[in-house]
A and B are shown apart, each in its own frame.
Chain A
């Protein structure tokens, strides 16, 4: 699934792994092995931040920008 592959790339530095779950959901696995299933990308980002303890911000392409 293309979307999952892109998400995996994005999250690779955080130690959070993502897999497709029955073609409709995402299986999110944190660095310590905690696993959650989420239904959409919005929930996925939220869960990935919780499990990876890192903030995700696509505007952080310049140093310090986007980090509050």
Chain B
């Protein structure tokens, strides 16, 4: 049976998550959605807003109690998703085709996805969908500079949605977009008022990956003062899967807590079509095989977004590892196998 996508709608306090959610669930195309709201505190304003949506339109709301998703609500999330799915199976709620989870404004989206794949029941019923982050065009720039929670949300997002664009100054908007490009290169920021945006936001993973692959991913401008930095890496030649997989597992073993996001379109040696890889922290989604290459050169492109890591080292390490361990390398005889991955006492 097909698994149901769980989309995560995140964004800093006051950035317009609920407004977007209300629009989404009122759109006939997405009326077959179930909505989960992560509540913080005793009174949930967000919940009241969404709760006003009339029953019978295919929408079911479950409010998660217990505060911020990143630390305390994971058990509730498991329970809520199980209950929701059981209600669907029992015919107590309409047969929704997706779940949209609105997080609190301070939540880190990553643990939500860990919760999903870490639960033996849920992972057979739901799959990780799109992570959407709303950014206030008026205050988003200063919020991203001041609050690590905001930076993490931007870094984790598959889709960046700029809100309040109609009241922001053009210069302000441009600087915000520039900042988003540094935090999450390759993910185009979309105007919340753009036509067709809702369909684009919840596009299926293959469609989304194809769109991402078709975009040219620019290397981010250097930003030596930021705690969250990104690097875009390109390989002109096909890469070998085995050494790449070993290196990636080693990177995430050592630094998964600080690798916020991985996006990769890979030209894998001996594989005719592109492979797309997505990951958040230690969680790597199963590779997606696209049906074919977009127009243009068949380069591998990878983006790593990390916190408190010199991302230049990630690129240097990957290039060195692949050079040493690829089929054509003569690592044993020239001593290059002594790639220093051992760094002292455990």
Residues of A within 8 A of B (CB): 2-3, 6-7, 9-10, 12-14, 40-42, 45-46, 49-50, 52-62, 65-67
A10 touches B250 (CB 8 A): yes
User: A2, A12, A49, A53 — which one has the most chain B CB atoms within 10 A of its CB?
Assistant: A2
Bound form: Cα–Cα A5–B18 in Å: 51
A58 and B242 form a contact (CB under 8 A): no
The CB with the most chain B CB atoms within 10 A, among A10, A12, A65, is that of A10
> How big is chain B's contact interface, by range?
35 or more
A-B contact count (CB 8 A): 99
Find out whether the CB atom of B249 lies under 8 angstroms from the CB atom of A45: yes
B341–A60 CB distance below 8 A: yes
Can you report 7 A-B residue pairs in the complex whose CB atoms are below 8 A from each other?
Answer: A3-B245, A6-B246, A6-B325, A9-B324, A42-B253, A55-B254, A57-B255
Among B243, B253, B254, B320, contact of A6 (Cβ-Cβ < 8 Å): B243
Chain B residue with minimal CB distance to A64? B343
A59, B342: Cβ atoms closer than 8 Å: no
The CA-CA distance from A66 to B259 in the complex, in Å, is 13
User: Which B residues lie within 8 Å of A10 (CB)?
Assistant: 246, 250, 339, 341
B325 touches A58 (CB 8 A): no
Which of B255, B313, B331, B344 is A61 in contact with, Cβ under 8 Å?
A: B313
**How far is it, in angstroms, between the C-alpha of A7 and the C-alpha of B253 when the chains are bound?**
14
B148 within 8 A of A: no
- CB of A54 to closest CB in B, whole Å: 5
Question: B247 and A58: CB pair below 8 A?
Answer: yes
Task: Find chain B residues with CB under 8 A from A6 CB.
Answer: 242-243, 246, 325
Nearest chain B CB to A45 CB, angstrom units: 4
State whether the Cβ of B273 lies closer than 8 Å to any Cβ in chain A. Answer: no
A14 to B340, CA, bound (A): 11
Q: Which of A52, A54, A56, A57 has the most CB of B within 10 A?
A: A57
Closest 6 CB pairs of A and B: A60-B343, A41-B249, A45-B253, A49-B346, A2-B242, A67-B343
Q: Determine the distance from Cα of A41 to Cα of B332 in the docked complex, in whole angstroms.
A: 22
- The distance in angstroms between the C-alpha atoms of A14 and B255, with both chains bound, is 20
Q: Report whether B249 and A12 are in contact in the complex, using a CB–CB cutoff of 8 Å.
A: no
With A9-B331, A41-B250, A54-B344 already in contact, 15 other A-B pairs whose C-beta atoms are closer than 8 Å:
A6-B246, A10-B250, A10-B341, A41-B245, A42-B282, A49-B346, A55-B343, A56-B253, A56-B343, A56-B346, A58-B254, A59-B251, A60-B340, A61-B339, A66-B254
Q: Does B345 sit within 8 A of A, measured CB to CB?
A: yes
CB-defined contacts of A41 to chain B, threshold 8 Å: 245-246, 249-250, 253
Contacts of A67 in B (CB 8 A): 343-344
Cβ-defined contact, B254 with A59, below 8 A: yes
CA–CA, A50 to B299, complex, Å?
A: 38
Residue of B whose beta carbon sits closest to that of A53? B346
Q: Which residues of B contact A7 (CB under 8 A)?
A: 246
